[in-house]
Each structure stands twice: as structure tokens, then as C-alpha cells.
Chain A
Amino acid sequence: MGRSVNPLEPLGRRVAATQDRQLAGFSLADAKRRLLARKPRVEWRMRAALLAAALLALLAVLVFARREPPPLTFVVASDPGHLGEWMAPRDSAETPVKFSDGSTVTLAPASRARVASADGRGAVVVLERGALDAQIVHRATTSWRIDVGAFSVHVTGTRFHLSWDPDREMLHLHVDEGSTRVTGPSFPGGQAVETGASLSLSTKEPSAAAESPAPPPSAVTTVVQPSVAPLVAAPTATATATASAPATAVTDAAPAAAPTWRELAGGGKYKDALQRAESDGFDALVESLGVVDLVTLADTARLAGDLGRATQVYVSIRKRYPGSRDAALAAFTLGRMAFDQRGAFANAAHWFRTYLAEQPNGALAREAAGRLIEALERGGDPEGAREAAAHYLASWPSGPHAEKARSLIASP
């Protein structure tokens, strides 16, 4: 009677034979040359001495060359300011808040704000409601931030006006001088707003906005610099419970006789915008536009329903700006498109992993990690999904996908 054969043995032999054919092209002679060409090892005592000297030098640099400036202090009107304390000017009076670096933030009447934190390079100011005018002194290391609702205005040396209406969830920013960068839901990569430009945003859904008194159209304007694309809506298919509603650009800018694709996109007319971009020469645009416009073009194509064109632009962003935050966001969006619109779960998993590789602490890391679990599960990789679930729980034990992750791990 013959011995039953372990099928792994012939499989293993076949795998080994295939591998050996691959390894036949490997140059062992090169390996020998590399080994024999190595420089003699520095004697360990000498290495230890060199390392100690290097550490001493580094310590000297850290102690003597890099003196962190003291945290900023500030005065509210004529009183010393305190971190975290709300400042609420009376209805009829503006209130200047003067900082020790020479910067000034003037709160408009009936506003409410606080200085949340301050260090040697700047401060974080939270504007709860109302408006402020800021004159931030620029230095090499200046770094200020104004938080309004779900948005943040990042400042390095600028004069600007900022207002926030929490009831209508409406932000308005006008930059008189310098440049700012606004980050927030739907565009965590940021939107630059520079000298002379304005930006208006609302996080209210159009249907929700219609329920509350809408501002008169003339009260809200968006002025767009040629190099700054207007914001476009970027609804998330699976928004998490804690994520803010997507931002929509609010504009009543009267279109010129022949609106540009940017203007059409800014007005929410994505199909028209895409058509205009096609007639302008879509491929040429993809080659020539800067990253901000590329992101807008990609979003426009996606919202117009043209996944092919959208993919083309996102891939171009990744190729032209490798390693950038925009490239990582493009990867995330490619993942979403693959998952939501194509049902290509393995492809989606690849892109979510790519995002996590490039932005492990990025704004969308939690969402990417959660969606990775879903993509692996739906793609028929339960083991991979369980491992992804374990990694998710290690970082976000209370996150939106935590329950899903736990049920995956617990299932047989």
C-alpha cells in the first residue's frame, strides 16, 4: 500500500525549482566583489570616540545655538490677557489684543474669541463668533493659527479680516497683505488665500441652508485670484459620525461672458466646468496646472461623474508632486472612488494603504485605516481585514470603525 503523499511536498519542490530558475540570474560574483571591497572596520574604540565627539558637538548646538524664544504674552485692551479666557467686546466697541511680538488682533463688536495657546512662534486664537482684523508680524519662524468652526486659518505674517457666523456656519476671509492657508473638511490639504483675495465658505448643506434665513446674495462674495481656484463641494460617501459636513463654496460672482472652467466649478456646475476644461484642452491642463488647480480639476471631474478623467488628474498629482500632502490626498480619493464607485476593493485597499504610508498621521489617517478594513473584507481577504482591524483598534479604539473592527476580530 502506498504512502499517502503530503501535497505540500510536491508543491514545495515545484516552488523551489521555480525559484532556483529565478536565482540562476543572480550574480554571486558581484556579492563576492562587494564583500571583498569593504573598507576595514574602524576599530571600535576609535568609533566610540568619534561617536562621543559627535554627540558632544550636537549637544553644544542644541544648548547654545537653539534658544527657544519665550511664549508670547498679550494684553486685551489694557488688561493682561490669559490663555483660554474668553474675550467678548461690548456691542459697540472694538477690542485690540496686542501680543508681545508686535502682532495685533482686533475683535469686532459683539465678537467672542479666546487665545487658546501661545509659544515663541505664535498663538492659536479661537474665534467663536463675530469678526477680527489681524496684523501678524512676520518673522522666519512665525506660525499662527485662527480656528473658526471646523476650519483653521494658518498664518505666517499677514494682514487679514476674518469673520465667522456659527449659526449659518459661514466663514469669510479677506487677505489684505501676505498669504494664508485655510484647512478644514473636504480640503484638509488646504486652500491658499493671498493678497487681495477673499474666501467664503459655508458648511451648511444646501437643504439645511434653505431652512434658515439665507444671507442676501450681495452679502457674500467670492473673489478669485487667477491662481487661486474656488472651492468645490467634495461630499464624502461615508462621512464619519464626527466629521463635519462638507464645505460648499458660496459665490455670487457674476460670471464673465465666457466663464472659465474654474468659475463654472466654483458655481457648482461641474459638468459644464468639465466640458469647458475639455474644450480648453484637458490633457494640456493636466500637464500645466499647478497643484491647487489640479486638485480642483480632479474634484470637478469626479463630481461631474467622469471617473476616468478624475483618475487621470489624481494620478498626475501623484506623479508630479510625489511625497506631498496633495499626492497622499489624491491616493485617498482614488481609494474612495475605487471602493464607492467601482467596487474595486483590492484596488481601494491599495490606495488606502498608500495614503497611510505617506501620511501616517494625516488628517484622514483614521478614515483611511477604517476604510482599509472594509476594502479588505469586501475584497475577500478576511485575514487581512482582521489584521487591519487590530491595527485600527491600536490607534483608534473609539473610532467610527472600532465596532466593526472588534466584530471582525471576534468572528471565527
Chain B
Amino acid sequence: MAVPLSAARGDLASVHALPFPGDDVALVAGLRTGSPAAMSALCDRYSAHALRVLARILGDDGELDDHLQDVLLRVVRSAADVEDPSALKGWVSIVAVNVARTALKRRAMRRWLTLRPFDELPEIAGPSSTEEDILALRRTYTLLARLGVDDRIAFTLRFIEGMELTEVAAACRVSLATTKRRIARAEERFASMARLDPVLAAWMEGGSRWGAR
């Protein structure tokens, strides 16, 4: 039986943490008691997923680390509200979507106030990405910025993160019907913009259902 660590906060970096032995139900129980081991396990198990959800929705964002921290903290603090501890991953998705939605709305407010110098477009890391990949990524998020927030979230979770419709609905906390409507609307709008986009038009040429428009 594992003995929970009792090291003071701030000293954990110098102590080897034992792996948290329990499943997500035990992990949530640990979070509810403020267990550092549980928090550590939360990071190990789900921070990558939270980061991906944030990145899919937000695209290139200079504050991803802060948003991730926000997600993890909210998950810790809301442990008591988790209805189904065995579905902790889904709860992490919900929290990540909420954090991303708030960030998008703040960004929309600041959109007219962007301070990004004109000739300093965001540099994209990833030396192994081809120029074509980078352009496709940039143009995709440029077009996504023109969608409504909810439509954009549904679209990115479906087409970029690859979630099933039911997962998208659960993460967004809306009905499956609403999710389908949002995705359909976003899909149509994105596709019509992409067909006119110098970079993305080539991607849109495949598929008989969309190519004929």
C-alpha cells in the first residue's frame, strides 16, 4: 500500500514522487483531499490531453502554458464537483474547452486592439514540419478566427482533435443535436472560405460532396 507523501509544498521538486497507484476514481478522491501525489498524477495522466485540446481550439497562442495551468488548477479545485470520477478525462476536456472559450472571447475583444507588429507574425516552431504544413496550419487558424466561438470549438474538436460527435457534445456540454448543427454550420463556412484560400484551396479539391460547390 502506497504511503502518501507528506513533504511540504515547494520541496516536492527535490523528492521523488511515488507513482499514484489508483485509478481515476482514486485520483479524484485524492484531489478532493489535496493530495500532492494525486495532483502529480493528474498532470502525468492528463496534462498532455488538456494541452492538446487547448492548442486545437486556440491555435498558436503565446499563453498556452498559463491556460494549461488554469485548466489543471480548475480541475483540482473542482474535484468535488466531478460527477463521474471514472470519466476524469472527459471532465478535463470540459474544463479545457471552457478555458479556451474564455480565452477566445478575450481575444475577440482584443482583436481590434492587436499589438502584434505587422512584420512579426507568430513564429511557428517544429523544424520537422514542411513549409506546406506550416502554411496549412496558419491559414486554417486564420479562417477559424472568422467563425463564431462555439462553432469554432466544435469544428476544431471534431476535425482537428478527431473527437467523435458524442465526445464533442460532452466536452462542450451541449446536446448532440446542437453539436451537429454547430459542426455543420462551421464546416460549410470554413469550406467556402477555404475554397477561395490560396493555400487551402488545394485541400478542398478532393471529395465529390464538397468539390462540386
- Decide if A7 touches B56 in the complex (CB within 8 Å): no
| Nearest A-chain residue to B203, judged by Cβ | A11
Chain B residue numbers with a CB within 8 Å of A21 are 126, 128-129
| Nearest B-chain residue to A348, judged by Cβ | B118
Q: With both chains docked as a complex, state the minimum distance between the C-beta of A97 and any C-beta of chain B, in angstroms.
A: 43
The yes or no answer to A347 lying at the interface (CB within 8 A) is yes
Alpha-carbon distance between A18 and B136 when the two chains are bound, in angstroms: 9
Chain A binding surface, main DSSP class = helix
Given contacts A37-B10, A356-B113, are A16 and B160 in contact (CB under 8 A)? yes
The yes or no answer to B105 lying at the interface (CB within 8 A) is no
- Decide if B206 touches A5 in the complex (CB within 8 Å): yes
Q: Which residue of A23, A357, A360 is within 8 Å of B51 (Cβ)? A: A23
Chain B residue numbers with a CB within 8 Å of A388 are 112
- Decide if B114 touches A357 in the complex (CB within 8 Å): yes
| Nearest B-chain residue to A16, judged by Cβ | B160
Alpha-carbon distance between A36 and B13 when the two chains are bound, in angstroms: 9
Q: With both chains docked as a complex, state the minimum distance between the C-beta of B14 and any C-beta of chain A, in angstroms.
A: 11
**Interface positions of A from 3 to 18, Cβ below 8 Å from B:** 4-18
| Nearest A-chain residue to B73, judged by Cβ | A35
* Interface stretch of the complex, out of B61-69, B81-89, B94-102, B168-176: B61-69
Q: Which residue of B118, B126, B146, B194 is within 8 Å of A347 (Cβ)? A: B118
| Nearest A-chain residue to B71, judged by Cβ | A31
Chain A residue numbers with a CB within 8 Å of B36 are 36
Given contacts A16-B56, A35-B39, are A8 and B187 in contact (CB under 8 A)? yes
Q: With both chains docked as a complex, state the minimum distance between the C-beta of B41 and any C-beta of chain A, in angstroms.
A: 10
**Interface positions of A from 74 to 119, Cβ below 8 Å from B:** none
| Nearest A-chain residue to B193, judged by Cβ | A383
Alpha-carbon distance between A32 and B208 when the two chains are bound, in angstroms: 47
The yes or no answer to A281 lying at the interface (CB within 8 A) is no
Q: With both chains docked as a complex, state the minimum distance between the C-beta of B125 and any C-beta of chain A, in angstroms.
A: 5
Q: Which residue of B9, B12, B112, B194 is within 8 Å of A40 (Cβ)? A: B9
- Decide if B136 touches A14 in the complex (CB within 8 Å): yes
- Decide if A15 touches B136 in the complex (CB within 8 Å): yes
- Decide if A10 touches B136 in the complex (CB within 8 Å): no
Q: With both chains docked as a complex, state the minimum distance between the C-beta of A25 and any C-beta of chain B, in angstroms.
A: 6
- Decide if B159 touches A31 in the complex (CB within 8 Å): no
* Contact digits for B127-141, partner A, Cβ 8 Å, 1 yes 0 no: 011000110110010
The yes or no answer to A354 lying at the interface (CB within 8 A) is yes
Alpha-carbon distance between A17 and B110 when the two chains are bound, in angstroms: 29
Given contacts A31-B69, A31-B72, A35-B39, are A18 and B129 in contact (CB under 8 A)? yes
- Decide if A357 touches B146 in the complex (CB within 8 Å): no
Alpha-carbon distance between A35 and B39 when the two chains are bound, in angstroms: 8
**Interface positions of A from 291 to 312, Cβ below 8 Å from B:** none
The yes or no answer to B79 lying at the interface (CB within 8 A) is no
The yes or no answer to B25 lying at the interface (CB within 8 A) is no
Q: A4-B207, A28-B47, A350-B114 are in contact. List 12 more A-B contacts (CB 8 A).
A: A7-B191, A8-B159, A11-B200, A17-B133, A18-B136, A22-B124, A35-B43, A36-B12, A36-B36, A346-B118, A350-B118, A354-B115
**Chain B contacts to A: CB under 8 angstroms:** 9-10, 12-13, 36, 39-40, 43-44, 47-48, 51-52, 55-56, 64-65, 68-69, 72-73, 76-77, 110-115, 117-118, 124-126, 128-129, 133-134, 136-137, 140, 146, 158-162, 187, 190-191, 194, 200, 203-211
